[in-house]
């Protein structure tokens, strides 16, 4: 069963753009650069422009467009064609929910006809002993508000572009990509598993603040098809988690060690980097895959995870707590964090500053077990920081001190 499941899910491997054919520009920050550095000279690329990969170097890919060649950051291009954003928290009267509910019903009937046990047919119905979908639905229901993070220019009404450009193309005629649906469905179940291990902190104001940072970061990335969500989990461990589909989690232990909003943004951007750069692998839809995942977007109380999918989730959960990701992709996510934060007005020094504090703290055993040596990460980050430029980018107002006081008061 395990081999069959993993034949439909290509997990735990980075995606080489060279093997994907053309790539698509999906960010208004994308430039055709003269060198593989974000601060290199270059010309802006158009949203939706098709590029042909030639070779790769770290976080950059050399491409050909018309009669020109140059470099572009992987943060701003995607092997997926443009697609509409997948909205979370589907209501029971939506057409997709009706279809999903019917597929779940059909799957149950098929399983019963094959003589499978109830456990094999449905491992989860919302309140299963391994999953907490109720808390996840709360996180999905939190309204997103960009205005919680503003630059000085935005606050004073001086910016000509108050909100990041999230409507980079007319998506009204686009469908949600099948790959995106599959990725979100799997990530949603992994997130629900994580929330069964660690209680979700249901602080609406704090959660909206974290999500406003993720929204700002995501607005310049290539993953416009995802609605990133950041949750707080109650644990003294210093760690953060990234699930496929854009579900990100920070522990209360981590938040207590953060000194500035730039550090917070760096941590969130690192976790987002894993998703943006497909470090969880590809998610292809097939008839079998749809059958496995059919019930995950049904109305509350009807989420379905069968035995085959549970096996895949076991592998991903093991990566969280035992094996970790490959050191190469962790360093790539660090580089991605520096690139993302510098594009939206945060100091690129935030992540390295946080890692320096973390290296002297207790409660980091799991983080150190599943990540490269902290001194190596900091050394690499110093190099990455030197390759970006914030010239002309307004700095985001730091509001972290207000929230850290709130966190301290709640945990006394």
Q: How far apart are CA 116 and CA 13, in angstroms?
A: 33
| pLDDT at site 151 | 74
Confidence of residue 171 (pLDDT cuts 50, 70, 90): low
Q: Percent of the chain, pLDDT > 90?
A: 48
Could you please state the CATH topology (level 3) that the domain comprising 22-78 is classified under: SH3 type barrels. (2.30.30)
| pLDDT at site 338 | 97
Quick check: pTM over 0.85?
Answer: no
| pLDDT at site 410 | 61
pLDDT at residue 292 tops 60: no
pLDDT at residue 138 tops 90: yes
Most confident region among 103-107, 230-234, 403-407 by mean pLDDT: 230-234
What average pLDDT does this structure show over 102-111?
50
- Asked whether the beta carbons of 197 and 130 are under 8 A apart, the reply is no
- Asked whether the beta carbons of 306 and 292 are under 8 A apart, the reply is yes
281: left (phi over 0), alpha (psi -120 to 50) or beta: left
Q: Write the DSSP symbol of residue 53.
A: E
| pLDDT at site 114 | 53
Q: Tokens 């097939």, residue?
A: 286
Residues of the chain with CATH 2.30.30.40: 22-78
pLDDT at residue 294 tops 50: no
Q: Percent of the chain, pLDDT > 70?
A: 72
| pLDDT at site 404 | 87
| CA neighbor of 84 nearest in space, from 179, 213, 17, 10 | 179
Q: Average the pLDDT over each of 70-74, 153-157, 212-216, 224-228 and give the range with the smallest value.
A: 153-157
Compute the half-sphere exposure of residue 267: CA atoms within 13 Å on the CB side of its CA: 29
- Asked whether the beta carbons of 291 and 5 are under 8 A apart, the reply is no
> How many other β-carbons are positioned within 10 Å of the β-carbon of residue 83?
20
Give tens-digit pLDDT for 139-162: 999 988 767 777 767 766 655 444
| pLDDT at site 98 | 45
Q: How far apart are CA 250 and CA 241, in angstroms?
A: 7
| pLDDT at site 317 | 82
Give tens-digit pLDDT for 119-137: 444 444 434 678 898 999 9
Q: How far apart are CA 146 and CA 142, in angstroms?
A: 13
Residues 199, 225, 349: CA angle, nearest 5 degrees: 65
pLDDT at residue 58 tops 70: yes
| pLDDT at site 298 | 45
């Amino acid at each position: 069963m395990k081999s069959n499941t993993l034949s439909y899910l290509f997990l735990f491997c980075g995606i080489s753009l060279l093997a994907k054919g053309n790539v698509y520009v999906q960010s208004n920050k994308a430039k055709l650069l003269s060198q593989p550095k974000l601060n290199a000279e270059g010309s802006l690329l158009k949203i939706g422009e098709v590029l042909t990969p030639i070779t790769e170097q770290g976080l950059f890919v050399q491409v050909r467009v018309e009669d020109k060649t140059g470099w572009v950051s992987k943060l701003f291009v995607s092997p997926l064609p443009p697609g509409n954003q997948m909205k979370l928290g589907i209501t029971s009267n939506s057409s997709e929910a009706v279809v999903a509910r019917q597929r779940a019903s059909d799957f149950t009937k098929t399983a019963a006809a094959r003589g499978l046990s109830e456990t094999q047919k449905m491992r989860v119905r919302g309140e299963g002993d391994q999953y907490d979908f109720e808390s996840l639905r709360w996180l999905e229901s939190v309204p997103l508000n960009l205005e919680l993070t503003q630059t000085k220019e935005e606050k004073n009404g001086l910016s000509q572009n108050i909100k990041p450009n999230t409507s980079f193309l007319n998506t009204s005629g686009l469908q949600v990509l099948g790959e995106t649906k599959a990725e979100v469905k799997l990530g949603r179940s992994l997130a629900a598993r994580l929330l069964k291990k660690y209680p979700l902190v249901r602080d609406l104001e704090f959660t909206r603040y974290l999500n406003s940072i993720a929204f700002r970061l995501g607005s310049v990335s290539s993953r416009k098809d995802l609605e990133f969500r950041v949750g707080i989990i109650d644990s003294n461990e210093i760690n953060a988690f990234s699930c496929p589909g854009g579900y990100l989690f920070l522990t209360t232990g981590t938040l207590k060690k953060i000194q500035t909003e730039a550090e917070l943004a760096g941590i969130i951007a690192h976790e987002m980097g894993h998703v943006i750069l497909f470090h969880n692998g590809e998610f292809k839809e097939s008839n079998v895959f749809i059958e496995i995942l059919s019930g995950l977007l049904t109305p509350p109380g009807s989420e379905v995870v069968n035995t085959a999918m549970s096996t895949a989730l076991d592998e991903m959960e093991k990566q969280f707590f035992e094996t970790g990701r490959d050191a190469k992709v962790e360093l790539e996510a660090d580089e991605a964090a520096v690139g993302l934060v510098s594009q939206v007005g945060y100091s690129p020094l935030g992540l390295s500053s946080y890692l320096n504090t973390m290296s002297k703290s207790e409660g980091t055993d799991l983080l150190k077990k599943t990540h490269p040596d902290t001194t190596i990460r900091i050394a690499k980050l110093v190099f990455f920081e030197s390759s970006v430029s914030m010239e002309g980018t307004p700095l985001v107002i730091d509001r972290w001190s207000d929230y850290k006081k709130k966190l301290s008061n709640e945990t006394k």
